[in-house]
Amino acid sequence: MKYIILCIIILFPFLIFANRYHNRADQLWNQAERLRIQKKYPEAIEKYKQSARAEKRSRNIRNKEFIAKINRIALLYNKMRKFKRSLRYYKISVKASRKFSETIEEMKALKNVAYIYYKINKLKQSIRFNKLSLRIAKRLGKKDMQAYILNRIGRVYRITRDYKLSLKYYKQALIIIRRMGREYNKAIMLSNIGTVYFFSKKYNDAIDYFLRALDIDKKLKREKDMSIDYSNLGTVYIAVGNFGKGFSYFQTALAIDKRLGLKSNIAARMNKIGDIYSFMRPKKA
């Protein structure tokens, strides 16, 4: 009993000290959140930084709370298009996650670093950090995250025109999504694969995958995605010189866009239809 009382006496100042900084960190966090919702990002960032400093001064740092503050700072810098600063804080998040053995947070932070590298067009670094994140996702058995990262890697390889590797990663993502029964995500992946085949000039394969994506979007009654599918099919048929079929698909896409009031899509479809008219117009002798 005396031992317990002694421990309480010794620990009491420590607990009071820790709670004081935790309370201050929480107050600053709440202020930062209100500023973020109001889109006052510079002011919010400063409050998040103060909150992180208060958390760090505590002798009993709450790991996930500290990482969350760092991630918020990185996120807002990203929204402000200050990508170098965003990258810096996401990398701090990676280090903190490793230090505190927060493996899931490390996986997410690595993914976010990869995304910022993608946005600043440093694609090799983007692939590298995505693969580091993917390795953790596989080790943890996080199927959702695996499919998400595989899709991102596929997209980066597509941009670098490494279509073989792009297809490899897209198809790995598709396998996982099929097993999970995610029909909407399956349609997206089929469309992504179709796009790679289109850029590879494998037009029959592109048509096949776009039609499969369209079939799912029809079943799910996702009209906005159906418009994209019809437009993709129209683009392929124009590429192979079948302007009549291309025109038909773009007209169908345009009808959907008008019904949904998608102004930017309407303009894009009408431009394509105008291009088709110019191709189909008889040439003067």
What is the per-residue pLDDT across 75-114, written as a single tens digit (0 to 9) for each?
Answer: 999 999 999 999 999 999 999 999 999 999 999 999 999 9
Q: Whole-angstrom Cα distance, residue 74 to residue 182? A: 30
The pLDDT confidence band at residue 71, using thresholds 50, 70 and 90, is very high
Pick from 21, 34, 33, 30: nearest CA to 61 = 21
Q: Whole-angstrom Cα distance, residue 160 to residue 196? A: 11
């500023």: which residue's tokens? 35
Write the CA distances from 257 to 27, 238, 250, integer angstroms: 47, 20, 10
Q: Considering only 34-48, 156-170, 248-262, which range has the smallest mean pLDDT?
A: 248-262
Structure tokens at 212: 């499969």
Angle subtended at Cα 12 by Cα 11 and Cα 17, rounded to the nearest 5 degrees: 100
Prediction pTM value = 0.86
pLDDT tens, position by position, 36-68: 999 999 999 999 999 999 998 887 889 999 999
pLDDT tens, position by position, 4-38: 544 444 444 544 444 777 889 999 999 999 999 99
* Long-range contacts formed by 15-22: CB under 8 A, 24+ apart: 17/58, 17/59, 18/58, 18/59, 18/60, 21/54, 21/55, 21/57, 21/58, 22/54, 22/55, 22/58, 22/60, 22/62
Pick from 163, 168, 165, 215: nearest CA to 187 = 215
